[in-house]
Chains A and B, each alone.
Chain A
Amino acid sequence: MSQKNGNLLEVNDLRTYFQTEDGLVKAVDGITFNLKRGETLGIVGESGSGKSVSNLSIIRLIPDPPGKIVSGEVIFDGQDLLLLSTEAIRQVRGRRIAMIFQDPMTSLNPFLKISRQLMEMTQLHLGHSKSQAYEHAVKMLEMVGIPDARERADNYPHEFSGGMRQRVMIAMALSCEPELLIADEPTTALDVTIQAQILELIKRLKRETGTSVILITHDLGVVAGMTDHVIVMYAGKIFEQAKTRELFATPGNPYTKGLLRSVPDPTAEQGKLYQIPGLPPDVARLGPGCPFAPRCERAEEICHKEFPPFVQLNPDHCSLCHFAKEVFAESGGQMSDQDR
């Protein structure tokens, strides 16, 4: 089943553009990354950075019009999802790639019992009979830690709290044992003690089922605890990608550096908080240079004029910056073999 190199997912030069009144918005503009089986990849970025659109593109849920995937490949288990027929992609969605979203209330049908919504998944994808599907639904609810799962199965979504609804969503997403779970800000709407519960749950289920996970979040703390690799997005581009530990220890991009420094660390002494000046760019009006240059501390003339190169710092570590090597060295980063 698996590809030679152990990659479950290979995204190559994916571009998703939106035609808007303000002109063409290049929401995702040429992103490339791989995900190995059993790994967790974090995608961080601020609003409008393209992190959610990239993942909607992977499962082809981009509303067209106004959106369009204009180029690229999404190789999932050897198959380019962008070439599949609408019918074939529906077989993949939910069955082999599942998604959970930020707001569990809007992703559940308020008129249907939880059990019905869970049963739909396995009846459709696994061909379960009604009673099989019901038993499976109860089993899934138990697995995600819903107390009294059998009684609760016949409740409606509004009878659950936010954290419980997110558990239901996770139960639904995992009910067909997908190979890839895409979680888009799964804990952003939840309280911190409930967030801890959900993150522990995702970790445990990942261990038990071996599912690969793409975790989209704006919270660098969540990324630090949950992921093996991280991608930092800005203005539709990947600005930096690396192993999680390396990215936090020795970032090679000024934007990543700024982002890391602007999050208060509760375990450290509180000095003045670093702030990235200015505002995120209007993606419809990007100049020729680096999109971050207007906010970047170390930007030089070239940054405003020429688009930066994607510099490889280490086998798993790349940064989009004219001065990537310098920034990396300043963070204390060591390049392994110079001429790889």
Chain B
Amino acid sequence: MSTQEFIANPSVPPPQAAGDEPLISIRDLKVHFDLGGGGLVDKLVGTNTEKRVVKAVDGVTIDVYARETLGLVGESGCGKSTLGRAVLHLIPPTAGEVLYKGSDLAHLSGKRLREQRRHLQIIFQDPYASLNPRMTVGQIVGEPLETFDLASGEEAEKRVQELLETVGLSKRFIKRYPHEFSGGQRQRIGIARALAVDPDFIVADEPISALDVSIQAQIMNLLERLQREKHLTYLFISHDLRAIRHVSDRVAVMYLGKLVELANAKDIYAEPLMPYTKALISAVPVPDPEIEATRQRIVLEGDVPSPINPPQGCRFHTRCPYMIETCKEVVPRLVQIKPNHFAACIRISPDHPNIEDVAPGAAPGLESGQHS
């Protein structure tokens, strides 16, 4: 299917950031992991009679615009990291498309895919596990240069030195090994490695979660500076809502494999619409005792349900304080409730955006036919 058809599909209009072209378009992306069960033998033996599938990412459609930072936030098991990896085809998607500048990565094979993937890079959470302990910093940062035939020999070494300086490391470190560095410095090495191939797009998967507070600020500032200087586009994945608010232009909230809300960072924090986002934002501790003393916090009951056979209907209905019977059946779509503010909830609509004001039992979103 061509790009045009998808963009023409009105079910989930891509949010418009002022006049920019999407760099990455994610179209109805699904990543399912088959856990087995449900086979003939299983049925005969009587164990695992049901087929078990983890729907880690279950139909996500979103555009990432050039030079923006799209924040992707959610709790553990919501599928945010899987989505990040599937975008780069590090995990093959089960269904759906990822378009980079309009061409579908899934249709590329071998050499072409690798060539395109050069423009797409990733930074990982754990700076201890993502660097080869037997390679020097120079080798780690220089390896992608050789892989993609970008530079070799002296030229490569010079480039590595430049890269280290770009990320705020001394070029003297070139012969050292990862264990000689602190967590923050290792994360800088990982960033230098990602930058080596001059990418357009970087998936930053929890890049600051393992770091100390003062170092987190350093890495966030570094990423922001690099974005300005090198015109980078980020998909910034984190469970840290304060960091997401700080770095993102737009924020997408994920719950059990689905996007539930999408808006400008400022709007989503000031006026979250969907009940899960409301709870999430209200749960963030604010570093101000005066605010904390008077704040009303929405404390959700229970845990996130298992992504193996997740709840029917709206996946959040098992914990939602605004749940009505219909929520157990209808799967809500991401609908534009306010300008450029999308939310997936049948109990709100553009005419009734505030769920607190909606009459008990009413589902204005459903009545306007947005979800059918």
Contacts and interface: CB of A to CB of B under 8 A. Distances in A.
Interface of A: 46-47, 147, 161, 163-164, 191-197, 199-200, 218-225, 244-245, 248-249, 258-260, 262-267, 270, 272-277, 279-280
B265 to A, nearest CB: 8
A276 B214 contact: yes
A258 B213 CA distance: 10
A191 B76 contact: yes
A161 B307 CA distance: 13
Given A164-B303, A279-B184, A267 B217 contact: no
A224 B297 CA distance: 14
24 contacts: A47-B212, A161-B303, A192-B239, A196-B283, A199-B285, A200-B299, A221-B286, A244-B289, A245-B289, A245-B290, A249-B290, A258-B214, A259-B213, A262-B214, A265-B288, A266-B241, A266-B242, A266-B286, A267-B286, A272-B224, A273-B220, A277-B218, A279-B185, A279-B215
Majority-rule SS of B interface residues: helix
A249 B280 CA distance: 26
Contacts of A273: 217, 220-221, 246
Given A244-B289, A266-B241, A275-B218, A221 B284 contact: yes
A248 B299 contact: no
Interface string B166-179: 00000000000000
Interface string B16-56: 00000000000000000000000000000000000000000
A225 B289 contact: yes
B285 A222 contact: yes
B182 interface: yes
B245 A270 contact: yes
Contact of B239 (A164, A191, A222, A244): A191
A259 B295 CA distance: 23
A276 B217 contact: yes
Interface of B: 75-76, 182, 184-185, 212-218, 220-221, 224, 239, 241-243, 245-246, 265, 269, 279-293, 295, 297, 299-300, 302-304
A279 B182 contact: yes
A248 B75 contact: no
Contacts of A195: 283, 285
Contacts of A248: 287-290
A164 B295 CA distance: 25
Contacts of A194: 75, 303
A220 B286 CA distance: 8
Nearest to B245: A266
B217 A193 contact: no
B242 A46 contact: no
B242 A191 contact: no
A202 to B, nearest CB: 12
Interface centre among A163, A264, A276 (most CB of B within 10 A): A264
Given A200-B299, A224-B287, A218 B245 contact: no
A43 to B, nearest CB: 14
Interface centre among A222, A258, A263 (most CB of B within 10 A): A263
A218 B215 CA distance: 12
Contacts of B75: 191-194
Given A266-B269, A267-B291, A219 B285 contact: yes
